[in-house]
Amino acid sequence: MKHILYKLFFGKPEYNKPLRATAYYRYRVNLVRIWNNEKHHDIGFEKILRLFLVSIQIIFPGIHIRQVFGRFGVVKRNVAVEFFVLFKTLLPVFFLLSGLYKYTVTVLISCYLLMETICYVASLIFVSDMFVKPRSYRRNILMLFLNYMEISLCFAVIYAGMHLLGDKPMNVMDYIYFSIVTSTTIGYGDMHPVTHTGQLMVCIQAVMVVAFIVLFLNFFGSKVETLSNEEE
């Protein structure tokens, strides 16, 4: 059974190569590279944004998970990150179904994890040159889909916990429904925010959706270009 699970999650043992640099080391190197303009001549707001997106990683759990599990090899680190992303996607579902969304600390946890994902998505757009070449493009698509669902579900917790939709929702599924409808930019209009805070949260969620669309278009465009070059 142990062998089957290892084969399922990690593949062949030779795939699990040791990492040449730890997550903390790469974090420091990336900060220095941006500060010294080693790769791009970015200045002003662009440079400030890139520095912010890299430096803020240290306050989120993702980089620490990569650091801890990186000592076991690249494959095991990647699988640990995948389980962490899956955990972040399922956690808001647990908050909603268990009724814990009513507590302020639950909303704060959802906002904290949501902020990590938002910064990660922004990093893929503005700091993509600092990322290691992905092991699998299909894996990246899967991770981005989970990030997309996490964002929708975390916003559902925020709408429910802060009571931003008034008395219209009858159960937690209504909050999930409203958040996913907002994420898909459909906007049926059967439910809507009743406070200025709710309107602000909807605007933030809509901007996040646009960022995802830009990211996916850029991702698939790069992939098609790569495949075309390989065919030539």
Report which of 201, 48, 221, 26 is spatially closest to residue 122, judged by C-alpha positions.
Answer: 48
CA distance 174 to 190: 10
Question: Residue 145 to residues 7, 57, 64, 157, 193: CA-CA distances in angstroms?
Answer: 24, 21, 22, 19, 26
Q: Which of 2, 136, 150 is nearest to 78 (CA)?
A: 136
Taking only the tens place, the pLDDT of each residue in 78-118 is: 889 999 999 999 999 999 999 999 999 999 999 999 999 98
Burial of 205 (0-12, 13-18, 19+ CB in 10 A): buried
Instruction: Give the pair of three-digit tokens for residue 159.
Output: 């709408």
| Per-residue pLDDT band at 76 (split at 50, 70, 90) | confident
Residue 19 is classified by DSSP as P
Cα 57 to Cα 125: distance, rounded to the nearest angstrom: 15
Q: What is the pLDDT of residue 228?
A: 39
Alpha helix locations (H) across the chain? Answer: 2-10, 23-35, 44-55, 61-70, 74-98, 104-126, 137-161, 172-183, 196-231
Alpha carbons 92 and 100: distance in angstroms, whole number: 9
pTM: 0.86
